Chains A and B, each alone.
Chain A
């Protein structure tokens, strides 16, 4: 299995840079997620790794060896595209064995490897079917089998699940993970779906406007984003414009928000610009709703002081009941705070509640004029 290094790669179609001096390295045998909104250059990056596009500058290395001069057909890669792109004139067996045939593997040997690959994606016995006779999920699984049957050093997945419905997508994620683990193949998956990237990747990068904004393990990125934009892209969060007022206390940081002052545990700040203006981010599921009649937080493990300080009264403005979780929009002195509760006990709209923002869950991010208050 190959390690992949991308070294200051840039690419422009006619006009501005689509990928701007991008560098990243993927250790052998791991899954790397490339996450970003559409048009951020992630697919362009993947296509350059595949060799389908040529970088304008920079280098791409597999196992330390530059592959820029190697055409895609000799890069030993497997690729799954957004559309399954199964050859409609070939049956499943012919599709999956295509890569083997290109390598000159004899039909007898090829057959057993095709069977193996199809078992891997749980499609044993479908050899004689034609792509048109398969469901969308099956088609994509055949495409996966076709990509891995040749034992490529690198597996590239370009939004492989975006054409499937939700339920199928979850199954497919699990399948991709199990196939990857079984084969130990170095994998890069490109997606705009943060859940997909987080579930699939060992390491992932968030990409905006042709460059990588942040790299790290998915949990790390989710909990400790570097900017408001990353925080919001990775999941529902409250972004509150704030001003740092007191940095004297060693164990607590105090910030001013539109609805009152808030205590923040130190050490949970992104490398900021040093100005007092910041954006405070707190994930919706970390906002605790406390009923009014209670005197204070009852959940264990929270110090009384902490609880007492970061509690604010608010009125429930909107209730959206989802599957097993309820999303509330709460008006806290003019600021709308979104809270998600894993519960099926619905609170009524218009009722007054207390909202607690746990101090260790509030992350301070650099001030972002485009996002503050959004």
Chain B
């Protein structure tokens, strides 16, 4: 079940083989880890079904379904799934932007990572440092700078603008993951392919790409996850015109109300892609690894790193 898989992704980030999940002690430990990780979600899920829940009550004093008739407008899940909430467009925007960012980040990181992992060149260490800047510099600085630049370029309030802005915080991670993948990929595979008559393109398509695919998938998924969580950059560059799940969430929190059922529900929805994709990453990399296992060049730097 989900518990084991999720924790393995977070914990090891390498070949799932080493884990003897049949051992009783290990299983208990994994469940404890799972419980710790999922603990914050429990009150959230409860709150999303609560109409009235005040301190110090352990459970809500009034549930949503008993209060439904008392309220004139839809609240909680009913509101979220109604047309008024704009959840649909926000979800679509988040997904579209996230996928685009993932593809772009991987496409840009892949060749760069290959060069960083393989070759020495002048200014390499500076480049590596520079590629980490977006993680070090506060996002507000990046956001304002990007906004000023995009205003001139006419990219403000466009999807393209938001996607480009999202590349800033996602690329460093994609680059890091892909560099690790390429560092672990034995150059000998390409050489052997070359002696067997494979040209540059064939070597890449038939040998390199399949071998780094788990890493590519991981990098893409992380880019997607980061993108789907970015609020500030989206908010600034979109000028509030392109609603995404995070901007929608912040507008609810902004209103100053305590955690109401609607906001709680939204938070649950916002968390879903992350959980889903973590599971997916494990699936993807796990399968590849069991296939490649012995002397495997591919040790995707899943989890731990980010």
Contact = CB atoms under 8 A, between A and B. Distances in A.
A88 B292 contact: yes
Interface string B265-306: 000000000000000000000001001111111100000000
Interface stretch (A77-85, A183-191, A222-230, A350-358): A77-85
A34 interface: no
B207 to A, nearest CB: 6
B293 A132 contact: yes
B150 to A, nearest CB: 42
Contacts of A130: 291
Contact of B189 (A73, A85, A132): A85
B138 interface: no
Interface in B144-185: none
Contacts of B292: 88-89, 132
Contacts of A131: 294
Nearest to B296: A88
A89 B288 CA distance: 8
Interface in A122-166: 130-132, 146-147, 150, 156
Nearest to A102: B197
A98 B291 contact: no
A81 B192 contact: yes
A181 B193 CA distance: 25
Given A85-B186, A132-B292, A77 B195 contact: yes
A157 B294 CA distance: 22
Main secondary structure of the interface of B (DSSP, over half): helix
B contact residues, range: 20 to 34
A52 interface: yes
B188 A89 contact: no
Contacts of B288: 89
Q: Which of B210, B294, B298 has the largest number of chain A CB atoms within 10 A?
A: B294
A357 to B, nearest CB: 48
Contacts of A99: 196-197
A98 B198 contact: yes
Contact of B297 (A88, A103, A150, A156): A88
Contacts of A81: 188, 191-192
Contact of A83 (B188, B193, B291): B188
Contact of B199 (A50, A73, A85, A146): A73
Contacts of B199: 73
B294 A132 contact: yes
A85 B192 contact: yes
A279 B132 CA distance: 63
Interface string A41-69: 00000000010100000000000000000
Given A83-B188, A85-B189, A88-B211, A73 B194 contact: yes
A89 B210 contact: yes
